[in-house]
């Protein structure tokens, strides 16, 4: 749980500031052992904890009665909307996407000032989900509205790419999509002769560029816009 809270590709606003190897987008569970890492609470965590000493939350015994813990955190913003969550129970499940902090803060203020604010008025403030990666959301505004109205639906995303020295460089992938897996799928298409216009693939991802996948065309006459679409 702590590792997830430190991964900027898992949490939109990480609660833990980790130093060392805390996993990678391709393999979130590749984090180092506890003795090789250090951590501290992130600045964002103050939104959840800063008012604990002001009597704003009731305290109860913990699971074995040895310590006191707050019954709930006096969050200054709804963290469940900012970072999202996934839950599975018997016969039901939920998947709440993360959202932009500034938009949610403005929406909360609007609801406090005008409790009868409509869904359409809120959606003028909150444009939609805001995932940790920079991939583009391609779901239409009408579909996004239906998701917020009914609580059901799916959000579609696509990778962000650009042309660089004749090749295509993918710099962002949809949330929880593995770059290594994407390259494997493209390589399989190449082996099956379904991508004759592609000559080479490279994974140049590193610490500075967490996602950098390079697709090299067979010649400079290849229309890479058509290939990517």
Q: Which of 46, 68, 90 is the last residue of a domain?
A: 68
**pLDDT tens across 137-181, in order?**
999 999 999 999 999 999 999 999 999 888 999 999 999 898 989
Tracing tokens 């900027």 back to the chain, one arrives at 8
**Of 11, 36, 44, 131, catalytic:** 36
Q: Are residues 176 and 198 in the same domain?
A: yes
pLDDT of residue 129: 96
- Would residue 225 count as lying in a domain? no
What residue numbers bound the domain in which 27 lies?
Answer: 2-68
- Would residue 6 count as lying in a domain? yes
- Would residue 109 count as lying in a domain? yes
Q: Two tokens at 155?
A: 């959000």
- Separation CA 209–CA 216 (nearest Å): 18
pLDDT of residue 221: 85
- Would residue 108 count as lying in a domain? yes
Is it the case that residue 24 has pLDDT exceeding 90? no
**Do 206 and 212 touch, CB atoms closer than 8 A?**
yes
Phi, psi for 115 (deg, rounded to 5)? -60, -20
pLDDT of residue 25: 85
Q: Are residues 89 and 62 in the same domain?
A: no
pLDDT of residue 144: 96
| pTM for the whole structure | 0.85
- Would residue 73 count as lying in a domain? no
**3-state secondary structure at position 188:** helix
- Would residue 155 count as lying in a domain? no
Q: Are residues 175 and 196 in the same domain?
A: yes
pLDDT of residue 14: 96
Query: What letter does residue 146 receive in the DSSP assignment?
Result: H
Greatest extent of the chain over all pairs of C-alpha atoms, in Å: 71
**Do 125 and 111 touch, CB atoms closer than 8 A?**
no
Residues of the chain above pLDDT 90, percent: 71
**pLDDT tens across 87-128, in order?**
998 888 889 999 999 999 999 999 999 999 999 999 999 999
Judge whether 148 counts as a catalytic residue: no
Q: Are residues 207 and 167 in the same domain?
A: yes
Is it the case that residue 220 has pLDDT exceeding 90? no
Q: Are residues 64 and 88 in the same domain?
A: no
Q: In total, how many domains does the chain have?
A: 3
pLDDT of residue 184: 93
Q: How many CB atoms lie within 10 A of CB 224?
A: 18
- Would residue 142 count as lying in a domain? yes
Phi, psi for 174 (deg, rounded to 5)? -55, 155
Q: Which of 68, 99, 114 is the last residue of a domain?
A: 68
Is it the case that residue 53 has pLDDT exceeding 90? no
Q: Are residues 143 and 92 in the same domain?
A: yes
Q: Are residues 26 and 55 in the same domain?
A: yes
**pLDDT tens across 9-23, in order?**
999 999 999 999 898
Q: Are residues 57 and 88 in the same domain?
A: no
**pLDDT tens across 190-200, in order?**
999 898 899 99
Q: Which of 45, 68, 91 is the last residue of a domain?
A: 68
- Separation CA 163–CA 91 (nearest Å): 46
The answer to whether the Cα torsion of 67, 68, 72, 74 is positive or negative is negative
Q: Are residues 38 and 59 in the same domain?
A: yes
Is it the case that residue 209 has pLDDT exceeding 90? no
CATH at residue 189: 3.30.1360.40
């Amino acid at each position: 749980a702590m590792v997830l809270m430190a991964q900027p590709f898992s949490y939109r606003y990480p609660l833990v500031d980790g130093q060392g190897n805390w996993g990678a987008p391709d393999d979130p569970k590749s984090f180092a052992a506890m003795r090789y890492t250090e951590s501290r609470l992130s600045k964002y965590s103050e939104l959840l904890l800063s008012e604990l000493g002001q009597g704003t939350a009731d305290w109860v015994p913990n699971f074995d009665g040895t310590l006191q813990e707050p019954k709930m955190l006096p969050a200054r913003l709804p963290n469940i909307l900012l970072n999202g969550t996934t839950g599975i129970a018997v016969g039901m499940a939920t998947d709440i996407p993360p959202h932009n902090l500034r938009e949610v803060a403005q929406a909360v203020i609007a609801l406090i000032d005008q409790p009868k604010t409509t869904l359409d008025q809120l959606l003028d403030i909150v444009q939609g989900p805001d995932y940790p990666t920079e991939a583009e959301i391609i779901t239409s505004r009408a579909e996004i509205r239906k998701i917020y109205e009914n609580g059901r639906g799916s959000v579609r995303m696509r990778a962000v790419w650009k042309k660089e020295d004749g090749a295509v460089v993918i710099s962002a992938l949809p949330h929880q999509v593995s770059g290594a897996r994407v390259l494997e799928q493209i390589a399989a298409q190449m082996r099956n002769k379904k991508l004759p216009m592609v000559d080479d693939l490279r994974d140049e991802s590193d610490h500075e560029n967490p996602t950098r996948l390079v697709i090299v065309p067979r010649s400079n006459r290849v229309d890479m816009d058509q290939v990517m679409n």
